[in-house]
């Protein structure tokens, strides 16, 4: 009975750690998106876009939500998001290349954030302003 409690407690603690890194990334992204003129033009909530992006990234990560294996990925994405210069971005890619398997894959992950943002924004704009269907 005691060992089951320890296992459950360990799983809960690792889930909290994963959520901490995930939330840190999501908050950094929402803060950056708050200044995005496109979001303002379309009246999109930066927090909702950041939540969508975070959810899309989470689908690509190994393991399940709360898995300790996800922690370094969220740390990497937070570092990518924090980079403000090309040099900082390149340094983050190099620092996290082992997490993603190679420098090329880490670079693709960093660049992929922009694609997730565009997809989430597009979906939210479409949902807010549906286009009339052809033939109607």
Q: What is the pLDDT along the chain (136 residues), one digit of tens a residue?
A: 555 433 433 444 444 446 899 999 999 999 999 999 999 999 999 999 999 999 999 999 998 887 889 999 999 999 999 999 999 999 999 999 999 999 999 999 999 999 999 999 999 999 887 777 655 5
What's the farthest any 2 CA atoms get from each other in the chain? 65
Of the candidates 16, 35, 24, the one whose C-alpha atom is nearest the C-alpha of residue 77 is 24
> By C-alpha distance, which of 124, 120, 78, 76 is closest to 97?
76
What's the pLDDT score for residue 132? 73
CB of 126 closer than 8 Å to CB of 42? no
pLDDT of residue 1: 58
Given a contact cutoff of 8 angstroms between Cβ atoms, the answer to whether 104 and 95 are in contact is: no
pTM of the model: 0.80
């Amino acid at each position: 009975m005691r060992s089951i409690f320890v296992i459950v407690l360990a799983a809960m603690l690792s889930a909290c750690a994963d959520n901490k890194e995930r939330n840190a990334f999501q908050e950094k992204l929402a803060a950056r998106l708050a200044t995005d003129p496109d979001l303002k033009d379309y009246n999109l909530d930066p927090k909702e876009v950041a939540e969508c992006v975070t959810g899309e990234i989470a689908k690509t990560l190994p393991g399940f939500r709360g898995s300790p294996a996800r922690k370094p990925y969220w740390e990497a994405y937070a570092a990518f998001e924090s980079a403000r210069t090309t040099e900082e971005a390149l340094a983050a890619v190099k620092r996290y290349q082992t997490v993603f398997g190679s420098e090329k894959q880490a670079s693709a992950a960093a660049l992929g954030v922009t694609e997730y943002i565009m997809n989430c924004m597009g979906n939210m704009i479409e949902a807010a302003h549906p286009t009339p269907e052809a033939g109607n």
